Amino acid sequence: MPASHRTRHALRYLPVLPAVVLLLVFLAGPVLWAFHASLTNAGLTGRHARNPDWVGLENYQRLFQDPVFPLSLALTLLFVAGSAILGQNVLGLALAVLMRRARPVVSATVGTAVVAAWVLPEIVAAFAAYAFFSRDGTLNQLLGSVGVAGTDWLYAVPMAAVVLANVWRGTAFSMLVYRSALGGVPGELTEAAQMDGAGAWQRLALITLPVIRGSIATNLMLVTLQTLAVFTLIWVMTGGGPATGSTTLPVLAYQEAFKFGDIGYGTAVASVLILIGAVFGAVYLRLLREQRP
């Protein structure tokens, strides 16, 4: 290949060079540091904060011997499945479908109400959810007004409370993705199916969903990875409790690293979380490749 041609070929990638550099500095750098720190006994304070010792896989051996870790892993997967894969994804699609069929005023009102929760700062949304589910909160006040006894939801069913709060907080994103995707469904396909006698559910299952399957895979990937990293909502609502009843992996990593000062062990937990996210991402990317014609 002539030198001039190689130069022109290389210049084609010049515009993306700043983005690559930023990814390396702000994404790859911290990830590599986390993996390195997980192989040491780095501490938040004391001698090991300045001069940590190399311990190899000792933190990971300790991790899989810790009775809290499998519970945190199970709670994390439950949180992702309940609030992202089923909650935000399914509810977002349902709202998008219903809003396309509703009157403009109804569609605008519902859309504004759903998006309002999404645009709130995360800490504000977390305190609002806490105020709703707490013992003296809005939910118990509403139940009491109709003669139903309330309970301390954040103590009795902490994971159900944080799952519902995250669905409320994040459904708007899925709704917007699916509203855009539904706009690309050819109208002649649904009209032809309707003329052939297909009902609403049949048109949805046999025409709409196959046409937007690429958007479904994309949305699933984005909301799953976002939900894996949720920390503030859970920490404000339950603090990971009661006991370890809502201690997902991000909460566990925070507690070990900053509450107990064991940075090495905390980053080992975070590294496992990174690997889980990579597995989910690889699965969804494979699904996206399969959608290509």
Q: Tens of pLDDT along 134-163?
A: 999 999 999 999 988 889 999 999 999 999
The model's pLDDT over 227-251, given as tens digits with 9 standing for 90+, comes to: 999 999 999 999 999 999 999 999 9
Q: How confident is the model at residue 102 (pLDDT cuts 50, 70, 90)?
A: confident
Q: Which residues contact 98 (CB under 8 A, 6 or more apart)?
A: 110
Has residue 26 got a pLDDT over 90? no
Q: Within a domain: residue 12?
A: no
Q: pTM for the full model?
A: 0.90
Task: Say what the pLDDT of residue 24 is.
Answer: 80
Q: 182 lies in which domain range?
A: 67-291
For residues 78-102, one letter each, b for 16 or more C-beta atoms within 10 angstroms of the residue's C-beta and e for the rest, the string is ebbebbbbebbbebbbebbbebeee
Q: Within a domain: residue 232?
A: yes
Q: Within a domain: residue 165?
A: yes
Q: Within a domain: residue 138?
A: yes
Q: Within a domain: residue 43?
A: no
Task: Say what the pLDDT of residue 292 is.
Answer: 59
Query: Mean pLDDT for the chain?
Result: 89
**Number of structural domains in the chain:** 1
| CATH number of the domain bearing residue 206 | 1.10.3720.10
Q: Within a domain: residue 265?
A: yes
Q: Within a domain: residue 37?
A: no
Distances (CA, A) of 168 to 83, 98, 136, 259, 280: 9, 17, 20, 29, 23
Has residue 268 got a pLDDT over 80? yes
Q: Within a domain: residue 255?
A: yes
